[in-house]
Structure 1
Amino acid sequence: MITPRNPVPAARLREFIDAEAKALGFDAVAVTRPDAIAEAGPRLGAFVAAGRHGTMEWMADTLKRRAHPNALWPEARSVIMLAMNYGPDENPLELLDQRDRAAISVYARNRDYHDVIKGKLKTLAQKFAARAGADVKVFVDTAPVMEKPLAAAAGLGWQGKHTNLVSRDFGSWLFLGSIFTTAEIAPDAPGVDHCGSCRSCLDICPTRAFPAPYQIDARRCISYLTIEHKGPIPHEFRAAMGNRIYGCDDCLAVCPWNKFAQATREAKLAARDDLAAPALAHLLMLDDPAFREKFAASPIKRIGRDRFIRNVLIAAGNSGESALLPVVESLLNDPSPLVRGAAIWALSRLVERGDFEKNRARLAPGEPDEDVKAEWAHAMEPA
């Protein structure tokens, strides 16, 4: 906890928060109560009970704390929600037509946003604590905090039919962070749903990950499959992934409210040139040291080289680019079973059956991994 000093009258706290948040680069700030999202807990419980969280066991493990903010910190009286715009300069959906290029989710094209935002939140929290005579705690995404419902309760926007936060000023492109405090701050009015009859985000989903409006099945979501899922990508979703190698922006990018999004953003969140549309051929050649160096400050580093190459191989198989064959074939001998299995699938999509059979006859008999054996067998089945 931060020890407060030099408290100021409560009437001036909100003015101070707004001014300091803007100075630090936040684009929006609002306040709510910890008990303002009573309906979020049961919704989360139903989501987990239905198994829609997939292998994200941490969601089930932290269910009680996540469902009730006061369970995380009983002394909290107010939650300051802050948002930072990361809207792209271009429509990320246009990259999906460039099959020899990799589509990386907009949020991951530069530094890890947790690092960017958390430092700013801590600075604001320290200044606030010194003036408010209150204790504070800072949270950014990785803690068991339901930030989207809290942001909606604070009036930063509303949770759209794709379950993400939508803002009338920034569309679907907002990073969120929160400051819990023991200070009593007048709450803002909650956000109002402006989705209307629009179904754009639901209808564009390549894998049909939305069972109904305002519901998501993570097990079918490309963001989950490429980031959270540790094993082989289920066959039923591989073709639909296209060239999406880390996350998926389709449901965000198609939101009509994006047309009102302001173009300014924190410079550290703008896309790195080498991650805006990287070539699949280059990414496939990354060994572990090269992967770590390239993604040293990126959220992509967290999934590790093998999972990343798995994703790139799925994109290679969807590319139709025969020029990728040499590097795909080299990965058939990769030390990682996860990579070898994905390479088999990519190869099966890029060569004629006879050429594929030659590789299978050479490599399958000596393969020790059961999942990789299954990939060889599956690839030989009739389409």
Structure 2
Amino acid sequence: LHALSRRLAPASAAKGSVIVHQGDPGDTMFIVESGRCEVYVEESPGHTITIALMGPDDFFGEMALISEETRTASVRALEDCRLLTLDRKTLYETVPAESDALIELTKLVEQRKDTLPNLIARARMVAPEQAASTVAVYSPKGGSGRTTIAVNMAAALARRFPGEVLLVDLALPYNHAALISYLTPTGCLAAASQVPPQNFEEAVLGAILHHPGGMMLLPGVLRAEQADLITVDLVNRAMGILVNAFRYIIFDLGVAFTDIVISVLDHSQRVLVLVTPELSSLKDVGELLNIFNNVLNIVPGRVILALNNKVPKSVVSKEDVVRTLKQELSVEIDFDGTKPDEAAVKGEILVLTDPKSALSRGAEQLAQIIAGTTSAGEAKEKKGGFKLGRR
């Protein structure tokens, strides 16, 4: 990569100029060093749709490095821009064909090709009659398998509703949903907070990733230090866009009981709480359920309680869990050995690659519960949108 960086050629683009044209051949990728660019597609003569915004460190045109297909979108400079360019000939002269860098770039190209149709669809979508159903996934104890279960549940839902299920990774400060899903994020919700208000919608939609299995994913951050940019107001603004673009929105929440976590829990239609058969987990979940009942007024009917067996045989039984928490379990996920870890290492989502595994069966059960809980009355009640902040 160091050798490749020395082969990058500087370029510039004046404000208003079109850097690449949709439909043209190309063999060059562009990296934005300074300035901002708009990515748009022309659906019919004179009718264009903005699908993404690019700022410093973003890049575009990478498909031309790997494929000889024509440009899939146009890019216009919104400001005077300084760019760095890399052409196909230079890439293959510098980077071996079997290198990790080239493999990763090829993966990113395929990912963006899959995402493009969904970006276009989201950008032109009008508000549907029913706003999205929202589900918060939470556990007060780390190591409960929360992110793995959130990803698999979202993927299970997306098999029924491809492109209509969005997983929002608010597990701060470290996001792992994209890693588990074998996706390479280039944008995030935190970065969208830095764009001008008129470009916010494009920035949010442009940060969404598409998984080949049909699930969509919005990373909260790309780097841990961006976590401070995630605020209740930012999530509110994003949800104002997203609730009308998806059927289901699932939040993967971090362990820390922050204002954002409390607000998302408070305002989600359903809350999936994960418990593991350990004394410490029972204690923490018991206290959490008390907070739900006595502080947040989250009634038991909104809570989906799932037991995730992380060991083959636990001293704490299912009956002990129910007796201690005084609430019935909705789903019990049996111990699945090393399958979840192996799937993560391979870049696989278990519910898609091994539907008979214990974790897959549990995720499918959870998806069935979620898919069967949106009554007409609930949809009507939530149609006003998702608003964080205490009621």
TM-score by length of 2: 0.26
Q: Which has the higher strand share?
A: 2
Q: Which has the higher contact order (CA 8 A, sep 6+)?
A: 1
TM-score by length of 1: 0.27
